[in-house]
Amino acid sequence: MDGSSAPGPVAGDFLTLLKQRRIISDIPHGLTNHSGLTETVATTILGFKFADGVLVAGDRRATAGNVVMYDRADKVLEIDRHSVMAIAGSPATAWEMARILEHSFQFYRRSQLQEMSVEGKVRSLSKLLRDNLGMVMQGLGVVVPLFAIYDKKNPDPAKLFFYDAMGAQFEATDFASSGSGAAAVRSVLYYEQNWGVSPLRERSREDAILLALKALDTAAEADTATGGIDRHGKIFPIIKTVSAAGIATVSDDKLSELFQAHVA
């Protein structure tokens, strides 16, 4: 085929591109994101390094289009004793990835009598995201997670990674966020890192928790898909810290105390 007969620029999903390039004759029914299916998605998540390790947080809202499907979704999932995965995107796909990671890490630990390396854990999640690429191309099942690890053997033990939907991995220097409210969260964390009372890595656990509450509350003001803090229903974000002592979940009572004293 010469250049004069080549199709022009294509706007649309991957299957539409294949059809326009005559690689397939038609798009099978149900394999297009134009089928009218409204997917449930979960946002917003954040992570940053503080004095003791890594803090990971997520709001509780899950939406399908303009409908709030659930206001108590858990987007911060414990994978093993020192690994946490936070999910933005399709909860159904993300929760299945988390279960696979949990079993994979456990099998490796029991069969090899040692922990999987940080590189192995990070790449395991990358592979799951790459394996999900077919669904992503159909416009469904997109997951853009954060992954936090505390590696006692490393001179810099606190590790935080963020990913794109195709599985590319990036290590965050200080903080990362994902989901529909990510831009607002990044703005808050960037400001606090550069012009706050102290850099994020120097902050105590309580100061780090308070900052996460402020960031998610800011995101909720700018993004309707972010639940933030429900002042009446007493629904608070899920906040976990990963440190040398392991994973700790911040209680709702503690979040309520900090929120009422410093945010509300």
Which positions are catalytic? 43
The C-alpha atoms of residue 58 and residue 5 are separated, in whole angstroms, by 50
Q: Are 187 and 34 in contact (CB under 8 A)?
A: no
The C-alpha atoms of residue 226 and residue 223 are separated, in whole angstroms, by 6
The C-alpha atoms of residue 208 and residue 88 are separated, in whole angstroms, by 21
For residue 147, give the H/E element and its range.
strand 146-150
- Output the CA angle 74-75-76, nearest 5 degrees: 100
For residue 163, give the H/E element and its range.
strand 158-163
